[in-house]
Amino acid sequence: MHDLAERYAPKDPYLVIHWRMETVDPEILEECAHALVDVLTSILHDHTLAENVTTVWFASDYPYPIARRTATNRRLAVAAKSGTFRDFEIRHEEAVDVLRSAFDQQGELDGWKLTDFAESIEDVRNVDHDLLADPGVLGILDKLVSIEANLFVGGSSRCARKSSFTKQVIDGRQSEWNKSRQSRLRNVVDIFG
């Protein structure tokens, strides 16, 4: 699994967003998305903290690829990332659009690339689609990519579902941070919302 995660993770320094939306009150999702953009803007515009970071990886229970749809890029649902997320609605989509818009030309985060696992496998040859259709495998790969990220952002209990995934990522990052201040990590976690 570690080899697969390394194969699909960004090659240059990167930031990971982990956002579990499934139990968040839909009324506040858009507000949470704006809070996320504010935190990302603060981190990524800090030239020391975000030095050479060009990619933002979106690890979420959001059931679609983060890339926008285009005429040639139909947005298809990917393997379910959560077996319990059943009440996906337009307000979830609107919140994600707030995030996407920040990365648009002339957006606050123009110049950085927003991506996710679905996009990372598009250009890779010899993809084991059966293996990558397993939500458990996708979760493990997202977790490994998150632990290895230079920067990590997660949601507050108000804006994101508490999850063992987030705790395991933070614990793994904290352990790495404690071992060596010279590691590639530039933070353990920043919280939005």
Structure token pair of residue 141: 């790969």
User: Model confidence over 71-122: pLDDT tens digits?
Assistant: 445 444 444 455 556 678 899 999 999 999 999 999 999 999 999 988 887 7
Record the pTM: 0.89
In b/e form, how buried is each residue of 31-46, taking b as 16+ CB within 10 angstroms? ebbbbbbebbeebbee
**Burial (CB count within 10 angstroms: exposed 0-12, middle 13-18, buried 19+), residue 184:** exposed
pLDDT at residue 77, as a whole number: 46
Kindly compute the dihedral angle of the four CA atoms of residues 77, 44, 157, 84, in this order, to the nearest 10 degrees.
Answer: 10
Domains located in the chain, CATH noted: 2-171 (3.40.50)
Average pLDDT rounded to a whole number, residues 142-166 = 94
What is the average pLDDT value for the chain, to the nearest integer? Answer: 87
Residue 149, helix vs strand vs coil: coil
Q: Which residue has the higher pLDDT, 33 or 89?
A: 33
Residue 55, helix vs strand vs coil: strand
pLDDT at residue 78, as a whole number: 46
pLDDT at residue 75, as a whole number: 46
